[in-house]
Amino acid sequence: MIARSPFPSSPARRALLLPIGSSGDVNPFVWMGRHLQERGYSVSVVANPYFARHVTTAGLDFIPLGTEEEYHALTNEAVIWHPRKGTPRVLGFAGEHTRRHFDLIASVAKDERPLLLAPSTAFGARLAREKLGLTLLTVNLQPSIYRSIHETPDFGRGLGFLQRIPRVFRKAFFALVDARMNQVVAPGVLRACRDAGVPAPRNVFRDWWQSPDGALCLFPDWYAPPQPDWPANARCLGFPLEDLASQHTFEPALEAFLAEGEPPVLFTAGTAMTLGHEFFASALRACQDSKRRALFLTRYPAQLPANLPPEVRHFHYLPFSDVLPRCSAIVHHGGIGTTSQGLAAGIPQLIMPLAHDQPDNADRIRKLGVGARLWPHEFQPANIVRELDALLTSQDVAARCLDVAGRIRSDDPASHLLTAIAPHLSHD
């Protein structure tokens, strides 16, 4: 149910939403766009053409940026899933496209002054703020974006020491990381600033990572409590839980499979993963060894083992909000979208994190008592069976899953979104 808006629905003002990433990154922006549009706000989503149907089917205006070939080329790079090299590669890509983002925003701003909603990696949006005087709200999908020295995120295998060393050393470590990442992203950002006649930031991550106008955190504060060194203007809204279920019919084959036996385990390596061969091979062996039914979810079936048995079914898309409550557990990569859907469904999670925010989400799931983690080298059939057995037979895990699902049902992220954005709207 859409919450009542704290601001008048007329006259409408333009909002420009600029998601970067996979479907899991685009879905939350579609969620924001729907809620704003239903309150009379004129909304356009700027994204790769790969997501055009995704956005327009939701009833939102779509503005293409880049080409589908670019999207597939990036997602096919094995390096983006590397625990150390993945984030620098993605950030480098974002930096290279700063000018292109800025030019598109500037073309829209010739006739209107849109409110910008963009992730911290949309450096062209920050440039538009500085050059054109537009309001920019940074949209943070996951808490690992804040490298707090107080509650330090889990950045992956081999970096667990950061949560144990004194804070002064954490701060020094993050300063070194900022300097290294700045070397990766700065060239594209500095060129765009020079072309636009805008003073460049001395350090992109220190000076441009979060907008001074405000930050919208699309996760609840019980999942990641705000820390003293987070920006003072950050607001936790809650999980958006956008999965486009209304755009898809429930396939008869899926209904039949769910109805004919015990609740299956759902396995997914992520919407953008094209290199999940080992993930699904281990998953299949684990299901066969434990005689469990399973759903394999991937848009790239070439990753799957040949000749899946009848008790394991593959689907290109599954509406999590409808399907997960009918599953016994979910095994996945640890993206924030999938993680939040698992929490909302009240089922245990087994996470195999690779890179980016995935290790931190896996760590938070463990601390909540609703799941377990296996690093990629540990993701072997025997270990999968052992962890699933432990999760599915634990009454404590079941109780904690239900408790967390109840928390999500009591959250009202749409209302928080509208309240957070209200001060930035023009009423003229």
Statement to judge: residues 305 and 215 lie in one domain: no
Statement to judge: residues 283 and 376 lie in one domain: yes
In a domain, 8, yes or no: no
In eight-state DSSP terms, residue 264 is: P
Q: Domain of 32: which CATH number?
A: 3.40.50.2000
In a domain, 115, yes or no: yes
In a domain, 314, yes or no: yes
177-201 tens-digit pLDDT = 888 888 999 999 999 999 999 999 9
In a domain, 78, yes or no: yes
Statement to judge: residues 185 and 122 lie in one domain: yes
Residue-number span of the structural domain to which 401 is assigned: 247-410
In a domain, 9, yes or no: no
Statement to judge: residues 135 and 218 lie in one domain: yes
In a domain, 3, yes or no: no
**Cα dist from 337 to 118, 219, 242, 264, 342, whole Å:** 17, 10, 8, 20, 9
Residue 428 has pLDDT above 80, yes or no: no
29-85 tens-digit pLDDT = 999 999 999 888 899 999 999 999 989 999 999 999 999 999 888 888 888 778 788
Statement to judge: residues 171 and 257 lie in one domain: no
In a domain, 263, yes or no: yes
What token pair was written down for 83? Answer: 């625990």
Statement to judge: residues 231 and 339 lie in one domain: no
111-120 tens-digit pLDDT = 888 999 999 9
Statement to judge: residues 404 and 417 lie in one domain: no
Statement to judge: residues 100 and 180 lie in one domain: yes
Count of domains observed in the chain: 2
281-336 tens-digit pLDDT = 999 999 999 999 999 999 888 999 999 999 999 998 888 989 999 999 999 999 99
In a domain, 4, yes or no: no
Statement to judge: residues 308 and 419 lie in one domain: no
Distance CA 78, CA 23 (A): 18
Nearest to 114 by CA among 128, 99, 98, 93: 128
Statement to judge: residues 418 and 404 lie in one domain: no
* DSSP character string of 366-406: HHHTSEEE--GGG--HHHHHHHHHHHHH-HHHHHHHHHHHH
Statement to judge: residues 262 and 137 lie in one domain: no
In eight-state DSSP terms, residue 330 is: E
Rounded to two decimals, what is the model's pTM?
0.91
Statement to judge: residues 260 and 393 lie in one domain: yes
Distance CA 333, CA 346 (A): 18
219-255 tens-digit pLDDT = 999 999 999 999 999 999 999 988 766 666 678 889 9
